[in-house]
Structure 1
Amino acid sequence: MRWEGNRESENVEDRRGGGGGIGFGGKSVGLGTVVIALVASLFFGVDPVTVLNLLSGGSPQVAEVGRAPPADDRMAKFVSTVLADTEDTWTELFAAEGSRYDKPRLVLFSGATPTACGTGQSAMGPFYCPADQQIYIDLEFYQLMKERFRVSGEFAQAYVIAHEVGHHVQQLTGISERVQAARRRVPEAQANALSVRLELQADCFAGVWAYHANRARSILESGDVEAALNAASAIGDDALQRQSQGQVVPDSFTHGSSEQRVRWFRRGIESGKVGACNTFETDRL
């Protein structure tokens, strides 16, 4: 994949290895402010979180605040560049429809990190939190892709980020909210089936990004598409279930089978059309 020298996103936060502060409403507060909050708590019986919230002008939610990734961190540089590429692509696609694309933030973390969706764990793999519109990834996942799934290649790694960005697009367009509302009204098997359609659409959106990014910036090299297809196949529900429990239970699928994930990513990258990704109005996934 050709990515070096391309624009890097400013919307990347590094929480790896600690060193971050405490944030309220997206703002970092200093040690002096924390001391004031503790004093208020001791003498006036006021919740220190409430005091910090008032002093920082933010919401009462506590969140870890990171920093910009080191300039010499090649992997962080890579994900920053991929994120920037998705920003450029989706900004243009939204503008073509008369809309504005609100860029998501990508958070690098190790082990665990607080999110607006609860504590994020490395074991969950990369994920998107709609409540704070942020993508979370422990970069060790890429090593897991190589060791457990036998998948390598930078474009396969980029596909992972583009898939999560696809969920952000679904959030901005109201698709996620409608699907989650529908899931609450149906039995578990049907709710899982709706989740599959949501995930497959995110795969297709990842393909749409790749189509437009390659046309605009020629990012693809020989073997890149095959690597991404291998990644999509390796993380299909059937492949993961077969590997972990020795049997496949289709009713429990939440992301789609290997064949389905490959099919929808391929549809996106071959058509480049958002309209081709309507997984909710098709009988054949």
Structure 2
Amino acid sequence: MRIGGRRESENVEDRRGSHFRLGGGGKIGIGTIVLALVAMYFGIDPSVVFDTASVQSPSPATQPASPRSAAEDELARFASQVLADTEDTWGPVFASAGGQYREPRMVLFTGATRSACGVGQAEMGPFYCPADEKVYLDLSFFDDLQNRFRAPGDFAQAYVIAHEVGHHVQNLLGISEKVQQAREQLPAREANALSVRVELQADCLAGVWGHHADRTRQLLEAGDVEEALGAASAIGDDRLQKQAQGQVVPDSFTHGSSAQRARWFRLGLERGDLRACDTFSPGAL
């Protein structure tokens, strides 16, 4: 991936090393409940959020910031460069349609952090909070991507960021709000099916970014597409369920199967057009 030397985004909030202390016995606040709802909407197990209900900010004297390695700082620069590249794509895309792109911010954190949606924890993986229009990322997820999910490569990492920015695009277009309103009226099975369509569309939008980034800035190198497709496949519901419980339960899918995620990312990558990302039309999946 040819991103070295490119500009870094000004929309990065670096909270790395500012740890939160995980304690027990605390009451569940409204912020935690809100984040749990957001987590459910984006297909994350809400129990992970409730486990952090008593997170408190420590004093610097009792919990000093952890030192940062050169490798981690390099990953932070990379994430900032990828975010900048998504800005360079979505700004013109929105402008060409007569709109204006409002750039999201990206929060880099360690372990746990607060958001406008409540407390986010690294175990949730990267997430987007529509209430503050921020993407939250603990860089340790990239280690999980390579070692736990066996999806190495810089473009695999870029795909993850672009997917979360895809949720921001959905938020700006009003898609997220409409889908959430619809989900509230549906039983769990149909609500899960809508979540799948949301996630697959975010995969497609990540592909749209990749299309424009390569066409205008020659970002891709040999093997990059395979890296992203490998990452999309690695975090498909069927594969994750098989690994976790030994069986696949399609009715509980919230993100889509490995094949679906890879297919929609590739479709966005090949077409480069938002209209190609209509995962909500009948028979689209």
TM, length-normalised to structure 1 = 0.81
The 3-state SS of whatever aligns with 1:163 is: helix
CA distance in 2, matches of 1:282, 1:82: 33
1:81-92 equivalent positions in 2, closer than 5 A: 81-92=81-92
Cα distance in structure 2, aligned partners of 1:123 and 1:204: 25
Q: Distance in 2 between matches of 1:143 and 1:114?
A: 22
Partner of 1:181: 181
User: Contact 2:19–2:111 at 8 Å: present in 1 too?
Assistant: no
Partner AA of 1:269 in structure 2: L
Counterpart of 1:256 in 2: which secondary structure? coil
- In the other structure, the counterpart of 1:117 is 117
Please give the residue correspondences for 1:1-80 in structure 2 after superposition, counting only pairs within 5 Å.
1-18=1-18, 73-80=73-80
1:265, CA displacement in angstroms? 0.2
Where in structure 2 are the equivalents of 1:212-227 lying within 5 Å? 212-227=212-227
Structure 2 letter corresponding to 1:207: G
2:278–2:284 Cα contact (<8 Å) kept:
no
Partner of 1:137: 137
Q: Matches of 1:247 and 1:14 in 2, distance apart? A: 39
Contact 2:19–2:112 (CA under 8 A) maintained in structure 1: no
Query: After superposition, where does 1:160-199 map in structure 2 within 5 Å?
Result: 160-199=160-199
Deviations 1:88-130 (A, max 9, x none): 1000000000100000000001111011111101000000000
**1:241-252 equivalent positions in 2, closer than 5 A:** 241-252=241-252
Query: Residues 223-262 of structure 1: matches in 2 within 5 Å?
Result: 223-262=223-262
Structure 1 runs of 4+ with >3 Å offset:
none
The residue that corresponds to 1:272 in the other structure is: 272
Give distance in 1, aligned partners of 2:204 and 2:284: 14
Shift of 1:199: 0.3
5+ long unaligned stretches in structure 1: 21-62, 65-69
Shift of 1:19: 8.4
CA distance, structure 1, for counterparts of residue 19 and residue 243 of structure 2 = 37
TM-score (norm 2): 0.81
CA distance in 2 between counterparts of 1:226 and 1:19 reads 35
CA deviation digits over 1:45-73, x for unaligned, max 9?
xxxxxxxxxxxxxxxxxx99xxxxx9x62
Tell me the CA shift for residue 18 of structure 1.
1.5
* Unaligned 5+ runs, structure 2: 21-56, 59-67
Equivalent pairs counted in the alignment come to: 239
Distance 1:176 1:80 in 2: 25
* CA–CA separation in structure 1 for the residues paired with 2:79 and 2:282: 33
Contact 2:127–2:137 (Cα < 8 Å) also in 1: yes
Percent identity reads 65
Q: The residue matched to 1:221 in structure 2 has which SS? A: coil
**Structure 1, residues 125-151: CA drift from partner, whole Å, max 9, x if none?**
000000110000100000011111111
Give the residue type in structure 2 aligned to 1:210: G
Letter in 2 for 1:96: S
Q: 2: CA distance between counterparts of 1:124 and 1:118?
A: 13
Structure 2: how far apart are the matches of 1:19 and 1:233? 32
Distance 2:19 2:202 in 1: 33
In the aligned structure 1, how far is the partner of 2:19 from the partner of 2:159?
Answer: 29
Q: Which residue of 1 is the match for residue 209 of structure 2?
A: 209
Cα distance in 2, alignment partners of residues 171 and 133 from structure 1: 8
Larger Rg: 1
Matched to 1:197, the amino acid is R
1:284 CA displacement? 3.7
Letter in 2 for 1:140: S
- Indicate if the aligned counterparts of 2:205 and 2:274 stay in contact, CA closer than 8 A: yes
Counterpart Cα distance in 2 of 1:77 and 1:282:
41
